[in-house]
Amino acid sequence: MNQMQNFTKGFFKENPVFVMLLGMCPALAVTNSAVNGLGMGLATTFVLVMSNFVISLIKNLIPSKVRIPTFIVVIASFVTIVDLSMAGFLPGLHEQLGIFIPLIVVNCVVLGRAEAFASKNTLGSSIVDGLGMGLGFAMALTMLGAVREIFGNYSFFGYKFIDADGILVFILSPGAFIALGFLIALVNQITKKAKA
Amino acid sequence: MAKKESTFLNMFLTLLIVTAISSLAASAVYNLTKGPIAEVARLKQQKAIEQVMPGFTSYNEFKVMPETGKDSLIFFKAFKGEEEIGVAINSYTYVGYSGLIKIMVGFQPDGAIENVEVLVQKETPGLGTKMAEPKFKDQFVGKNLADFNNHEILVTKDGGVIDAITAATITSRAFCDAVNRAYRALEENKKENK
Amino acid sequence: MEYIIIIIGSVLVSNIVLANFLGICPFLGVSGKLTTASGMSGAVLFVMTVATIITWLIQNYILDPFGLGFLQTISFILVIASLVQVVEIILKKVSPPLYQALGVFLPLITTNCAILGVALLAIQKEYSLVEGTVYAVGNSMGFALALILFAGLREHLELMDVPKGMRGMPIALVVAGILSLAFMGFANLVSI
- Chain A closest-CA separation from residue C45 CA (Å): 18
What are the Cα distances from residue B142, in Å, to B107, B113, B155, B189? 9, 5, 16, 21
Which long-range contacts does C178-183 make (Cβ < 8 Å, 24+ apart)?
C178/A174, C178/A178, C179/C18, C179/C146, C179/C149, C179/C150, C179/C153, C180/A173, C180/A174, C180/A177, C180/C18, C180/C19, C181/A169, C181/A173, C181/A174, C183/C12, C183/C15, C183/C18, C183/C19
- Confidence check: pLDDT of A1 > 70: no
Question: According to the model, what pLDDT value does residue C191 have?
Answer: 52
Domain region containing C57: 2-185
**Rg of chain C (C-alpha set):** 17
Residue in B101, B170, B172 to test binding to C, most C beta-carbons within 10 Å: B170
Question: Using CB atoms, which residue from B19, B22, B97 is nearest to C191?
Answer: B97
- Confidence check: pLDDT of A68 > 70: yes
Give the A window 110-169 contacts with C, CB below 8 Å: 111, 169
For chains A and C, what is the number of CB pairs under 8 angstroms? 121
* Residues A166-184: tens digit of each pLDDT: 788 888 888 999 999 999 9
Residue B35 lies inside a defined structural domain of this protein: no
Which residues from C are below 8 Å from B31, CB to CB? Answer: none
- Confidence check: pLDDT of A80 > 90: yes
Question: According to the model, what pLDDT value does residue C190 have?
Answer: 62
Number of domains in chain B: 1
- Do residues B171 and B128 make contact, with C-beta atoms less than 8 angstroms apart? yes
Summarize the confidence of residues A129-133 as an average pLDDT: 91
- Do residues A39 and A94 make contact, with C-beta atoms less than 8 angstroms apart? no
Question: Using CB atoms, which residue from C18, C28, C170 is nearest to A173?
Answer: C18
Comparing CA positions, the residue from B31, B35, B47 lying closest to residue A88 is B35
Q: What share of chain C is helix, strand, coil (3-state, %, to 5)?
A: 80, 0, 20
Domain region containing B118: 49-192
Give the pairing of strands A155-156 and B83-96: unpaired
Question: According to the model, what pLDDT value does residue C12 have?
Answer: 86
Comparing CA positions, the residue from C90, C95, C130, C102 lying closest to residue C40 is C102
Give A155's DSSP letter.
E
| Rounded Cα–Cα distance for residues A92 and B38 (Å) | 14
Residue in A25, A36, A193 to test binding to C, most C beta-carbons within 10 Å: A25
Question: According to the model, what pLDDT value does residue B1 have?
Answer: 44
Which long-range contacts does A123-127 make (Cβ < 8 Å, 24+ apart)?
A123/A53, A123/A56, A123/A57, A124/A3, A125/A3, A125/A6, A125/A56, A126/A52, A126/A53, A126/A55, A126/A56, A127/A49, A127/A52, A127/A53, A127/A56
- Confidence check: pLDDT of A21 > 90: no
Query: Who has greater pLDDT, C108 or A143?
Result: A143
- Chain C closest-CA separation from residue A2 CA (Å): 31
Q: Percent of chain C, pLDDT > 70? A: 94
* Residues B80-109: tens digit of each pLDDT: 888 888 899 999 988 887 778 899 999 998
Domain region containing A156: 3-195
Comparing CA positions, the residue from B65, B52, B79, B95 lying closest to residue B185 is B65
Question: According to the model, what pLDDT value does residue A196 have?
Answer: 57
- Do residues C25 and A28 make contact, with C-beta atoms less than 8 angstroms apart? no
Q: How many CB atoms lie within 10 A of CB C105?
A: 17
Q: How many CB atoms lie within 10 A of CB C87?
A: 19
Distance of alpha carbon A155 from its chain centroid, rounded? 22
Residue B103 lies inside a defined structural domain of this protein: yes
Minimum mean pLDDT among A134-148, B21-35, B165-179, C103-117: which range? C103-117
Summarize the confidence of residues A27-43 as an average pLDDT: 90
Number of domains in chain A: 1
Question: Cβ separation of B26 and A63 shorter than 8 Å?
Answer: no
Host H or E run for residue B73: strand B73-80
Residue A11 confidence class, pLDDT cut points 50, 70, 90: confident
Q: Which chains touch A (3 or more CB pairs under 8 A)?
A: B, C
Give the A window 145-184 contacts with B, CB below 8 Å: 152-153, 165-166, 168, 171-172
Summarize the confidence of residues B169-175 as an average pLDDT: 89
Which residues from B are below 8 Å from C188, CB to CB? Answer: 169-170
Residue of C nearest to A29 (CA): C21
Which residues from C are below 8 Å from B92, CB to CB? Answer: none
Average predicted confidence (pLDDT) for chain B: 86
| Rounded Cα–Cα distance for residues C172 and B105 (Å) | 46
Give the pairing of strands A159-160 and B58-64: unpaired
Host H or E run for residue B115: strand B113-120
Q: Which residues share a beta bridge with B102?
A: B92, B120
Residue C119 lies inside a defined structural domain of this protein: yes
Residue A188 confidence class, pLDDT cut points 50, 70, 90: confident
Residue C190 lies inside a defined structural domain of this protein: no
Summarize the confidence of residues C181-191 as an average pLDDT: 74
Question: Using CB atoms, which residue from B11, B25, B127 is nearest to A81?
Answer: B25
- Chain B closest-CA separation from residue A77 CA (Å): 5
- Confidence check: pLDDT of B58 > 60: yes
Question: Using CB atoms, which residue from B27, B99, B169 is nearest to C70?
Answer: B27
Interface of B with C (CB under 8 A): 19, 22-23, 26-27, 29-30, 70, 95-100, 169-170, 174
Which residues from C are below 8 Å from B26, CB to CB? Answer: 70-71, 74
Instruction: Identify the burial level of C139 via C-beta atoms within 10 angstroms of its C-beta, where 0-12 means exposed, 13-18 middle and 19 or more buried.
Output: buried
- Chain A closest-CA separation from residue B186 CA (Å): 30
* Residues C55-65: tens digit of each pLDDT: 999 999 988 88
Number of domains in chain C: 1
Alpha helices in A12-104 (DSSP H): 24-29, 34-58, 67-89, 91-97
* Residues C146-168: tens digit of each pLDDT: 888 888 888 888 888 888 888 88
Average predicted confidence (pLDDT) for chain C: 84
